[in-house]
Amino acid sequence: MYHKLLTNPSFFPLLLKYDQDLAEQARQAGCPCNGALHRSDYPRKPRGGPEDLDPAFNRRISFCCAEAGCRKRMTPPSIRFLGRRIYLMVVVVLVSAMCQGISAKRKKVLSEKIGACRRTLDRWQVWWRDAFVASAFWKETKSRFIPPIPTDRLPGSLLERFNEGVESINIRRALAFLSPLTTVTCNGKSQDPLRGF
C-alpha cells in the first residue's frame, strides 16, 4: 500500500505545500531578537522520489535574521527532509516500514526501486531500533500513545497509529509528528536527533 504513495504524482506537491505553510508560520513568528527573517534556503538534491519532482524540492526552506547584531539562522521543521539526509523523509519512513519482515529478494527489489543499496536500508532499520528510540524526542513523545507503540516494529507500528482514513493524509500526519526531528535543535535542546543515521 505504501509503495503507491511513493509514485503518486499528487502526493509530493502536498508535502511541499505543508512545508511552505510551516515556513510561513516560522517567518511570521520572527526571530527571538524581534528581527525580521529573510529567506536563505539551502540547496538540496533529494533522492528517492519521483523523477519529475517540482524544482522547489531542490531547496530546504530556511531563514536568516535581518538584524546586523543577530543574523541567526532559523530552519523550520520539514516534512520533506530528514535533517541533512539525502533521501526524502517520506521515503525513509515508508521504505523502512516496508522492509520489516521481508525477504532478501524483496529488499533487493525495493532498494533498486528507490536507488538505495541494501546496506542503507539496513542502516535505516538500525536507526529506528536504536538511535530513534534513544532520542530525547521519542522519550518525550512516546507517552502520547496508549497503548504504547511497540518499538521493535518502528516505524511501521508508528504509522499504524496514524491509520484513520485517507492514506496520504495519514502519512502527512505521521511526518508532521516526526518533523521536530528535522531541525538541528529538537524541542529546544541542542542535539543531533539523527545521530548514527
Residue 37 clears pLDDT 90, i.e. is over it: yes
Name the residue with cell 535542546: 189
Residue 186 clears pLDDT 70, i.e. is over it: no
Count of other CB atoms within 10 angstroms of residue 181:
21
More confident residue, 89 or 100: 89
Can you state the percent helix, strand and coil of the chain, rounding each to 5? 50, 10, 40
Mean pLDDT of the 26-49 span:
91
Specify whether the CB–CB gap between 51 and 43 falls below 8 A. no
- As a whole number, the mean pLDDT across the chain is 87
One-letter amino acid for residue 155 of the chain = P
Q: What is the DSSP letter of 47?
A: B
Look at the alpha carbons of 114, 118, 119, 122 in this order and tell me if their dihedral is positive or negative: positive
What tens digit of pLDDT does each residue of 49-79 get? Answer: 888 888 999 999 999 999 988 989 999 999 9
Three-state DSSP at 120 gives helix
Residue 45 clears pLDDT 60, i.e. is over it: yes
Per-residue burial over 121-130, b = 16 or more CB atoms within 10 Å of its CB, e = otherwise: beebbebbee
Q: How far is CA 187 from CA 23, 77, 121, 183, 191, in A?
A: 17, 11, 27, 9, 9
Distance CA 2, CA 190 (A): 33
Distance CA 52, CA 58 (A): 12
What tens digit of pLDDT does each residue of 81-95 get? Answer: 988 888 999 999 999
Distance CA 112, CA 118 (A): 9
State pTM to two decimals.
0.87
More confident residue, 31 or 2: 31
